[in-house]
Chain A
Amino acid sequence: MRTARKIAMVVIAATLLVCLNAGFLAPAHYAAEFREAPNAAPSRAHWLGTDALGRDLFSRLLYGTRISLLLAPAAALLSTLLAGFIGGAAGYLGGIWERLAMAAADLVLSLPWLFLLITVRALLPLDVSPLISLAVTFALLGGLGWAAGARVLCAGARGLRNADFVLQARISGMHGLRLFAVHVLPNLKPVLCAQFWISVPVFILSEANLGVLGLGVAEPMPSWGGLMRELESMWSPLHEWWKLAPLLLLVAVTGSLQLLISREELTA
């Protein structure tokens, strides 16, 4: 397990390092169109071939990964923290707070937030910088993605309310926020970790779907999710295997993330 963790760290560190230096390492600008060679196979000039407009896919992968790799975990952290506090506090406090928080969670799960997203886009100016648009997108994703986890955490916190060690802590004088942070939250870690781990790839993919609404990255800037959407038009993975590169990288990063998050060893 330890070697696996080391490999995971190397994968993530390498990916981060390469992407942050995309400006130096990318062979071409992500928007540069090599119109003589659209949909080209990998070659010395284009390591991962080119896309439909002749743009170098390796460069696009580097730039796209950079943005998503930084913003998606941040958004996932936001949604996890929100879930933790809202769900945890609701379960711990119980009563009317729990009722209200869970009703809010259910509404967040069922309402068509598509329209809020469209409205937010309409409020932004037409020439908004792609970075701001992306930041807003991921902030919205994080702000709306807490509901499922909150419900599960609420159930967990409810169970802890009358747990022995919590009662003991209360008797010894610990109250309120400190009690919550020190005794309740850590015991909710399994669900918090699961929520964080699931959110990262889900947000990366959702960002691409939001591109249809005008949020997310603006062309020609690539995003990881956007590159994955090109898989929809790939008919023979064998003949165009290089187009699977973004997917393979995401699987590698997601898998490594899980290995890094879960610190528990499985004892025989």
Chain B
Amino acid sequence: MARKILQHALMIVATALLGGLLTAAMVRFAPGSSVDERELDPRLSSGSRQALRQARAAEQNFLRFYVDYLRRAAHGDLGISRTLNRPVRELLAERAPATLRCAGLGLGIGWAGALALAVSAAVLRRTAYDAFATVLAGALLCVPAAVLALLSVFANGPAPLVVAVIVFPRLYRYSRNLLAAGYRQPHLITAYAKGVSGARIFFAHVLPLAGPQLLALAGVSVSMAFGAAIPVEAVCGIPGIGQLAWQAALGRDLPLLLTLTVMVALATLLANLASEAAAQMLSPKAR
């Protein structure tokens, strides 16, 4: 048991570190990473321009930069953001709560809505209801995230609701298909004939089949929610990590991007590990 936990932990750390390395490489080789917008200001002297270029010189060799970064991170120093001139650790500490609240709440509401609709559609099995749900999910999927966010600014609505509306169609579609497949199992005909109650059919026959996949979906939905938080925060003006990430990407701010990516990777890996563990607990014989 302990060995398994250690194995999982090592795998997660190794993957996150690999992710960091890949990010450093991608940012380094993307165009625009060695230039600074301030160079276009004609008032700067050549000495200042030199200083600007030197500030970026440390990132030219991304391997060395990454190793340095890891060494400093081990001591708790996550580097200084190039675009905001502040220690990355401070920035993250300030902004993480806002994103956790926005994305977390949004994810919760999205799941609640998706499951409510999917379960009711699967249980009721009325064509009109199902069609209505499909059209609703389809319509919400087609509206760009920025437009949804602007609508919420217009209506003074809460930002988590926008995140919920963005993830809802995806969650609904997967859940609905999985539950419907569960209801199509051939042996359920016998169960109905025998008069087994609807609730028992749902919990004892449909859910075990759909369960592990729904849990995997739950794990994946965490990264969906973070992805949705980026445009929502940018438009609604929420001081969260999503807004930070977008600005860091546009400014090629490598120290900030590196830390953000590793954090997001760790969060994704942990969420997916949790969903796997939960799936295993629910149906141990699946292994």
Residues of A within 8 A of B (CB): 1, 4, 99, 102-103, 106-107, 109-116, 118-119, 122, 147-148, 151-156, 158-159, 161-162, 189-191, 193-195, 197-198, 201-202, 205, 208, 225, 228-229, 231-232, 247, 250-251, 254-255, 258-259, 262, 264, 266-268
The answer to whether B23 and A111 have CB atoms under 8 Å apart is yes
Selected contact of B146 from candidates A99, A154, A156, A232, CB within 8 Å: A232
Interface presence of B9 (CB below 8 A): no
- Given A107-B15, A122-B31, A231-B144, are A191 and B268 also a contact pair (CB < 8 Å)? no
The answer to whether B217 and A152 have CB atoms under 8 Å apart is yes
* Chain A residues positioned under 8 Å from B181 (CB to CB): 189-190
The answer to whether A254 and B141 have CB atoms under 8 Å apart is yes
Majority SS at the chain A contact face? helix
Complex: how many Å from CA A165 to CA B21?
Answer: 44
- Given A112-B261, A247-B142, are A152 and B30 also a contact pair (CB < 8 Å)? no
Interface centre among B19, B138, B287 (most CB of A within 10 A): B138
Complex: how many Å from CA A225 to CA B264?
Answer: 28
* Chain B residues positioned under 8 Å from A250 (CB to CB): 142
The answer to whether A232 and B174 have CB atoms under 8 Å apart is no
The answer to whether B261 and A193 have CB atoms under 8 Å apart is no
The answer to whether B142 and A151 have CB atoms under 8 Å apart is no
Complex: how many Å from CA A258 to CA B131?
Answer: 10
The answer to whether A266 and B130 have CB atoms under 8 Å apart is yes
Selected contact of B212 from candidates A1, A119, A156, CB within 8 Å: A156
Name A160's closest neighbour in chain B (CB-CB). Answer: B286
The answer to whether A193 and B142 have CB atoms under 8 Å apart is no
Complex: how many Å from CA A102 to CA B265?
Answer: 12
Nearest Cβ distance between residue B260 and chain A, in whole angstroms?
Answer: 8
The answer to whether A254 and B142 have CB atoms under 8 Å apart is yes
The answer to whether B27 and A110 have CB atoms under 8 Å apart is no
Nearest Cβ distance between residue A249 and chain B, in whole angstroms?
Answer: 9
The answer to whether B269 and A106 have CB atoms under 8 Å apart is yes
By Cβ-Cβ distance, the 3 closest A-B pairs, closest first, are A155-B216, A190-B177, A115-B30
The answer to whether A229 and B26 have CB atoms under 8 Å apart is no
Complex: how many Å from CA A156 to CA B211?
Answer: 9
The answer to whether B216 and A232 have CB atoms under 8 Å apart is no
Selected contact of B220 from candidates A109, A156, A193, A264, CB within 8 Å: A109
The answer to whether B22 and A151 have CB atoms under 8 Å apart is no
Complex: how many Å from CA A145 to CA B249?
Answer: 20
- Given A106-B15, A118-B31, A191-B177, are A251 and B142 also a contact pair (CB < 8 Å)? yes
Selected contact of B265 from candidates A107, A115, A189, A251, CB within 8 Å: A107
* Chain A residues positioned under 8 Å from B212 (CB to CB): 155-156, 158-159
Name A107's closest neighbour in chain B (CB-CB). Answer: B19
- Given A154-B216, A191-B177, A231-B147, are A255 and B268 also a contact pair (CB < 8 Å)? no
The answer to whether B134 and A255 have CB atoms under 8 Å apart is yes
The answer to whether B285 and A264 have CB atoms under 8 Å apart is no
The answer to whether B131 and A4 have CB atoms under 8 Å apart is yes
* Chain B residues positioned under 8 Å from A4 (CB to CB): 131
* Chain A residues positioned under 8 Å from B174 (CB to CB): 152, 191, 194-195, 198
Interface residues of B in 168-217 (CB under 8 A from A): 169-170, 173-174, 176-178, 180-181, 184, 209, 212-213, 215-217
The answer to whether B138 and A251 have CB atoms under 8 Å apart is yes
Nearest Cβ distance between residue A11 and chain B, in whole angstroms?
Answer: 12
* Chain B residues positioned under 8 Å from A148 (CB to CB): 220, 223-224
The answer to whether B144 and A232 have CB atoms under 8 Å apart is yes
Complex: how many Å from CA A267 to CA B188?
Answer: 12
Name A154's closest neighbour in chain B (CB-CB). Answer: B216
The answer to whether B177 and A193 have CB atoms under 8 Å apart is yes
Complex: how many Å from CA A268 to CA B183?
Answer: 11
Complex: how many Å from CA A247 to CA B217?
Answer: 28
Nearest Cβ distance between residue B121 and chain A, in whole angstroms?
Answer: 8
Complex: how many Å from CA A54 to CA B286?
Answer: 61
Complex: how many Å from CA A255 to CA B254?
Answer: 42
Residues 259-286 of B, flagged 1 when their CB comes within 8 A of A and 0 if not, give 0010011011100100110010001011
* Chain A residues positioned under 8 Å from B240 (CB to CB): none
Nearest Cβ distance between residue B86 and chain A, in whole angstroms?
Answer: 20
* Chain A residues positioned under 8 Å from B180 (CB to CB): 190, 264, 266
Nearest Cβ distance between residue B229 and chain A, in whole angstroms?
Answer: 14
Interface residues of B in 124-176 (CB under 8 A from A): 125-127, 130-131, 134-135, 138-139, 141-147, 150, 169-170, 173-174, 176
The answer to whether B26 and A111 have CB atoms under 8 Å apart is yes
Name A87's closest neighbour in chain B (CB-CB). Answer: B216
The answer to whether B177 and A194 have CB atoms under 8 Å apart is yes
Complex: how many Å from CA A39 to CA B283?
Answer: 60
The answer to whether B249 and A191 have CB atoms under 8 Å apart is no
Nearest Cβ distance between residue A204 and chain B, in whole angstroms?
Answer: 8
Selected contact of A254 from candidates B138, B146, B224, B261, CB within 8 Å: B138
Complex: how many Å from CA A159 to CA B209?
Answer: 8
The answer to whether B125 and A267 have CB atoms under 8 Å apart is yes
Complex: how many Å from CA A153 to CA B125?
Answer: 25
Selected contact of B26 from candidates A115, A202, A208, A225, CB within 8 Å: A115
